[in-house]
Amino acid sequence: MARRFPRVMGLAKMCRNRNISFKSLDPPSSLTHGIHIFHCPDAVGIVAKLSECIASRGGNILTADVFVPENKQVFYSRSDFVFDPVKWPRVQMEEDFLKLSQTFSAIRSVVRVPALDPKYKIAVLASKQDHCLVDLLHGWQDGRFPVDITCVISNHYRGSNTHVIRFLERHDIPYHYLCTTNENKREGEMLQLVQNTDFLVLARYMQILSGNFLRSYGNDIINIHHGLLPSFKGGSPSKQAFEAGVKLIGATSHFVTEELDAGPIIEQMVERVSHRDNLQSFVQKSENLEKQCLSKAIRSYCELRVLPYEENKTVVF
C-alpha cells in the first residue's frame, strides 16, 4: 500500500494559481465541529456544491481554504464547519460527502469529526536523544495532540529510573527496547508492534527504515531532523555547524520514503545564530526547533491540513 495522505473537498474555477481563505464566526457551544478535505480535478461549481451539501443539513462553514495550482487542472480544499449531529448523523454525513466525491471524481475525500471519531493511534520511535520524545509525550499529556500513543519503540536501552520510563509507566504506555545491528534491524518485530496504528512518528529515531518495512506498514510515517543537512552529516552535526560558523539553523519534518530524508516536506522552521552563541546554546536552539517543528507537523497532520501535491510536495493549509 502506498503512502496514505489525508484527503480534500471542492471549489469553483475563479482564477489561476488561486489561494483563497475565508472565516466566519465562532460556533455555538451546542454544535459539533467537523473537517472536510477534498482533492479532485478542477471544475466549475465545486465550492457551491460543497456549501450546498453542508447548508442543506443545517451546517455552517466556519473556515474554507482552497488551492488550485496554475495550469494543473486540480483542486484542493479544506473546510471547517459546525453542525447538529442530531440533524446530520455521522453516517448520513459520510453518504453526503461520498455523493459529492462521486460527482467530481475526487482523488481523495475525507471527513473527520474530532469529538465523535476515534483518536489516531500512533507509535513513537526514538533512539538515544530524548528531547523530541519527551516534548511529544508531554504535549500528548497536555492534550495538544488528538492521538493515543500505543507504544514507544527504541533501539536504545533506558533504565527504569529514567524520566521517560517513569512517564510511560505512569500512563501505561509500553516501552519496547529492540537492540538493532547492521545485520538485523528488528523490523519484523517492529511491524508486529505497530500493525494497529494509523501513523508513526520518528522522534529522532536514528535508524533507516527499509523499503520493505515502508511497503509492509503502508501508512504514513512522519520524521524530524535538523536543518543542517546536507553540509553537516554523520556524528555531531551541530558541533560541525558551530565550528563552521553558520548563521542560520533549522529543522525539517517530512514524510518518510525510501529515499533518505527526501520525502514530502510537512513543516520547516529556522532561527538565526551568531558569534554570541556557544556550543551549548547552539545545540539548545537546534533541539528546540526540532521539537517545535515536529509538534507542528503532527498537529497539522491530525487536523487534515496536509495533502499530497505533485510527485514530492505537499499542500499544507
Q: Order of strands, edge to edge, in the sheet holding 74-83?
A: 18-23, 60-68, 74-83, 32-41, 108-112
Is 181 contained in some domain? yes
Of 83, 110, 137, the residue that ends a domain is 110
Same domain flag for 159 and 285: yes
In a domain, 20, yes or no: no
Residues 213 and 94 in one domain: no
Q: Are residues 89 and 123 in the same domain?
A: no
For residue 226, what pLDDT band results from cuts at 50, 70 and 90?
confident
Local confidence band at 232 (pLDDT 50, 70, 90 cut-offs): confident
Neighbouring C-alpha atoms within 13 Å toward the C-beta of 309: 20
pLDDT digits (tens, 9 = 90+) for 27-77: 555 899 999 999 999 999 999 999 999 999 999 999 999 999 998 999 999
> Over 80: is that where the pLDDT of 179 sits?
yes
Q: Say if 269 falls within a structural domain.
A: yes
**For the chain, what is the domain count?**
2
Identify whether residues 170 and 193 lie together within a single domain. Answer: yes
Q: Predicted confidence band at 4 (pLDDT cuts at 50, 70, 90)?
A: very low
Domain-located, residue 1: no
Does residue 87 have a pLDDT over 50? yes
Q: Is residue 300 in some structural domain? A: yes
Long-range contacts of 95-104 (CB under 8 A, 24+ apart): 96/53, 96/57, 97/36, 97/53, 99/53, 100/9, 100/10, 100/38, 100/49, 100/50, 100/53, 101/38, 101/40, 103/49, 104/10, 104/38, 104/40, 104/41, 104/43, 104/46, 104/49, 104/75
Given pLDDT bands bounded at 50, 70 and 90, which one contains residue 233? confident
- Asked if residue 249 and residue 124 are part of one domain, the reply reads yes
One domain for residues 105 and 154: no
Last residue of a domain, one of 43, 78, 110: 110
Residues 6+ apart with CB under 8 A from 138: none
Output 97 or 259, whichever has higher pLDDT: 97
The answer to whether residues 39 and 153 belong to one domain is no
223 and 254 Cβ atoms separated by less than 8 Å: yes
Q: Are residues 106 and 122 in the same domain?
A: no
pTM, rounded to two decimals: 0.88
Q: What separation in angstroms does the CA of 280 have from each of 57, 75, 163?
A: 57, 46, 22
Domain, as residue range, for 93: 30-110
Return d(Cα 8, Cα 73) in angstroms, integer: 15
Q: What is the pairing mode between strands 74-83 and 60-68?
A: antiparallel
pLDDT of residue 64: 96
The span from the CA of 103 to the CA of 65, in Å, is 20
The CA distances from residue 300 to 230, 264, 277, in Å, are: 26, 14, 31
| Domain annotation covers residue 24 | no
How high is the pLDDT of residue 27?
Answer: 53
Residue 15 included in any domain: no
Structural domain ending residue among the three candidates 110, 139, 154: 110
The residue type of 316 is V
Query: 87: helix, coil or strand?
Result: coil
In a domain, 196, yes or no: yes
Q: Are 54 and 195 found together in one domain?
A: no
Let me know whether 58 and 150 are in one domain. no
> pLDDT confidence of 229, banded at 50, 70, 90?
low
CATH number, position 83: 3.30.70.260
* pLDDT tens-digit series, residues 89-111: 999 999 999 999 999 999 999 99
Catalytic residue, chosen from 84, 117, 261, 277, is 261
Q: Give the domain CATH number at 260.
A: 3.40.50.170
Band (pLDDT 50/70/90 cuts) for residue 20 is low
190 and 207 in contact (C-beta within 8 Å)? no
Do 182 and 133 share a domain, yes or no? yes
What percent of the chain stands above pLDDT 90? Answer: 81
Exposed e or buried b per residue across 170-197, where buried means at least 16 C-beta atoms within 10 angstroms of its C-beta: eeebebbebebeeeebbbeebeebbeeb
pLDDT band of residue 18 (cuts 50, 70, 90) is low
Instruction: Of 96-110, 115-129, 224-238, give the lowest mean pLDDT range.
Output: 224-238
User: What pLDDT was estimated at residue 12?
Assistant: 33
Q: Are residues 74 and 193 in the same domain?
A: no
User: Cα 178 from chain centroid?
Assistant: 25
Is residue 261 annotated as a catalytic residue, yes or no? Answer: yes
Question: What mean pLDDT is reported for the chain?
Answer: 90
